[in-house]
Amino acid sequence: MSETALPIAGHHPAWLPPEAYLPLLRHQIEYRIPDPSGPGATGHWGDLDAAVARNFSAIIHAAAAALEDSPGLNGEPGEFCIKCEVIPDAAANPEAFTIMNQRGNVYLTAATPRGLLYGTFELVRLGESGLGRIAADRDFSQTYTPHTPYRMLDHWDNIKRHNVMGQVERGYSGGSLFYDDGEVRADLSAVSRYAELLASVGINRVAINNVNVGPLETTLLTDLLPEVKRIADIFRTWGITTFVSVSWAAPRRLGGLTTTDPFDDDVQRWWADAARKV
């Protein structure tokens, strides 16, 4: 792929086209996510809130429109139903989920919407045959828990195209999803699809700029922070936290200090204030 050949229009086959969700759409599917401030809930759901229900409702509607002629789509006679429910439990791993048989139907539960997000993608991976096996096995119950809490991708994207390194340092896989030679892309629709893809394989953190932080990239902490928020808002709805790489020289570049010594009191105050603003 050339550096400018970005998949902005349409879906690459790896990017979960509507057909990927067809096994779910062949059955009645229901989501139940309680109000995070309601009885039995454990407070704010974190980054995800009730976005899982919105995400998959939108996917189901889009897929149904694209696949409306498909036999058995969304509610026509079938062998089982799929029920997905958040059951709040403050002691449970917030990203774990359980898939079980409930009276001949497929039942997915999680303690938070984030767990339900990952569980839904597991249902997609199981496909029609896997879902059918669960519906036929009255004793089926399996809990999935991530092995590590940090599952992160580190993008080495430059905001401005570097004379030698290009838009993405060592950019063997193409151009930047986030930046277009000097600014954050106006159209971030590809980032939304990318976030869906990452969530489907359990990625929960993304760093959006090169670890070699140039002068312009330094301003991701200040002038460009609203643009970071645009990207973070997209990732957040798929349970992904956005990181930025920062420059050791930021207190001097942005704060006008004469030193970047991390033991200096003024430098420590500058970083604390920058962190609060972020």
| Per-residue tens of pLDDT for the chain, all 278 residues | 333 333 434 556 666 766 677 777 777 878 777 765 555 444 444 444 445 555 665 555 555 554 444 444 444 445 788 888 889 888 999 999 999 999 999 999 999 888 988 998 899 889 889 999 999 999 999 999 999 999 999 999 999 887 777 788 877 667 899 998 789 999 998 898 888 889 989 999 999 999 999 899 999 999 999 999 999 999 988 889 999 999 999 999 999 999 999 999 999 999 999 999 99
Residue 144 · residue 174 · CB < 8 Å: no
Confidence at residue 25, expressed as pLDDT on a 0 to 100 scale: 72
Q: Do 193 and 234 belong to one domain? A: yes
Are residues 26 and 69 both part of a single domain?
A: yes
**Residues 29 and 117 both lie in one domain:** yes
Q: What is the dihedral of CA 38, 199, 4, 209, to 10 degrees?
A: 70
Nearest CA among 108, 106, 101, 105 for reference residue 138: 101
Q: Of 90, 123, 144, which residue constitutes the final position of a domain?
A: 144
Query: Does residue 8 belong to any structural domain of this protein?
Result: no
The domain of 137 spans 14-144
Model pLDDT, residue 238: 86
* CA diameter of the chain: 72
Does residue 47 sit in the same domain as residue 84?
yes
Q: 89 with 166, same domain? A: no
Sheet (strand 82-86) strand order = 29-32, 82-86, 105-110, 97-102, 141-144
Residues 120 and 33 reside in one and the same domain? yes
Do 74 and 181 belong to one domain?
Answer: no
State how many domains the chain has.
Answer: 2
Residue with tokens 């349970």: 239
How many CB atoms neighbour CB 82 within 10 A? 24
Residues 167 and 147: their CA atoms lie apart, in Å, by: 34
The residue written with tokens 């897929």 in the block is 63
* 255 is a domain residue: no
DSSP state of 219: G
CA distance 57 to 60: 5
Please tell me whether residues 185 and 103 are part of one structural domain.
no
3-state secondary structure of 86: strand
Which of these, 219, 210, 166, 208, lies nearest to 185 by C-alpha position?
A: 208
Contacts of 61 (CB under 8 A, 6+ apart): none
> Do residues 26 and 49 both lie within one domain?
yes
CA angle 218, 206, 52 (to 5 degrees): 130
